[in-house]
Amino acid sequence: MAKWVVGNFKMNGTNEMVCAYGETMAALAAKSSTTNHLVVLPPLPYIAQLQKAFKDLPIQLGAQDCSIFEGQGAFTGEVSNFMLKDLGCGFVLAGHSERRHKMGETQSLVIAKVKAIQQEGLMPILCIGETKEEYDAGQTLAVLQNQLSNLPQGPMIIAYEPVWAIGTGLTASLELIEQRISEIKAMLSRTTPVLYGGSVTLDNVKDILGISNVDGVLVGGASLKPEQFYQMALS
């Protein structure tokens, strides 16, 4: 079954890097095609460039964040889902732990973003996950339940990313990933794809995608090298 392989560049990249990324991905896609759903989330300034590069490729585009305001208007610095859609984005992240913890995004703001994304007909990828302190205190399930509360109806993808596994090289064990994904699916009152994220690399992606209840992976650092990331999508 096709799984999701989503690359989150975070605040990384340059004009030159993104240009080369597009060319390399096109060359790789011409050589071998993947049956998985491949999605790339570049920083906002590079979306238009990758939209051109991916035009005829089976690679979809998305954004890492969005405004809660719709359409266009007097909201200095904001980028609406209308604009993201106009640039060819089909997906938008909401609630990434870096935005929750470093930018202070609250659960109600995250839910408002999910609604704004759906309103424009785009697919939200809602990130949830516990910190190391919450994990150690045995609060994981309560944290996840709270992050899944008040979700609007409508299509979405959930990405479970334990905060202690993001960018640390500390991947959750395969047993723990399977258990958490099944607990998350039990908390949802509908069928929603649930991805795993947190230090996913070329070395562990096959095993993680091999877990039957895992619907895909959200990849940060390892998505920045196109050869490596495309190889991951072929898993």
Q: How far is the CB of 126 from ligand PGA (least distance, A)?
A: 12
Quick one: which of 18, 109, 11 has its CA closest to 66? 109
Q: Does 221 help bind ligand PGA (rule: CB under 6 A)?
A: yes
* Pick 39 or 222: Cβ nearer ligand PGA: 222
Q: Does 36 help bind ligand PGA (rule: CB under 6 A)?
A: no
- The one among 83, 161, 193, 233 contacting ligand PGA by CB under 6 A: 161
Decide if 96 is catalytic: yes
* Pick 46 or 160: Cβ nearer ligand PGA: 160
Q: Does 167 help bind ligand PGA (rule: CB under 6 A)?
A: yes
Cβ-contact 125, 193 below 8 angstroms? no
Select which of 96, 120, 130, 134 is catalytic: 96
196: exposed, middle or buried (Cβ count in 10 Å: 0-12, 13-18, 19+): buried
**Angle separating helix axes 15-31 and 226-233, nearest 10 degrees:** 40
Q: Pinpoint the alpha helices (H) of the chain.
A: 15-31, 47-53, 81-86, 97-102, 107-119, 132-136, 140-147, 174-187, 205-209, 226-233
* Pick 46 or 229: Cβ nearer ligand PGA: 229
Q: Does 58 help bind ligand PGA (rule: CB under 6 A)?
A: no
Q: How far is the CB of 75 from ligand PGA (least distance, A)?
A: 26
| C-alpha distances out from residue 82 to 69, 73, 86, 119, Å | 9, 11, 6, 9
Select which of 101, 134, 161, 183 is catalytic: 161
Q: Does 219 help bind ligand PGA (rule: CB under 6 A)?
A: yes
> Rounded distance, CA 68 to CA 106, Å?
13
Burial profile 31-46: b = 16 or more Cβ within 10 angstroms, e = fewer: eeebebbbbbbbbeeb
Cβ-contact 158, 128 below 8 angstroms? yes
Decide if 133 is catalytic: no
Q: How far is the CB of 200 from ligand PGA (least distance, A)?
A: 5
Binding string to ligand PGA for residues 182 to 201, with x set by CB under 6 A, is what? Answer: ---------------xxxx-
Of 53-61, 65-73, 180-188, 219-227, the window that binds ligand PGA (rule: CB under 6 A) is 219-227
Residues designated as active site: 96, 161
Site for ligand PGA, rule CB under 6 A:
8, 161, 166-167, 197-200, 218-222
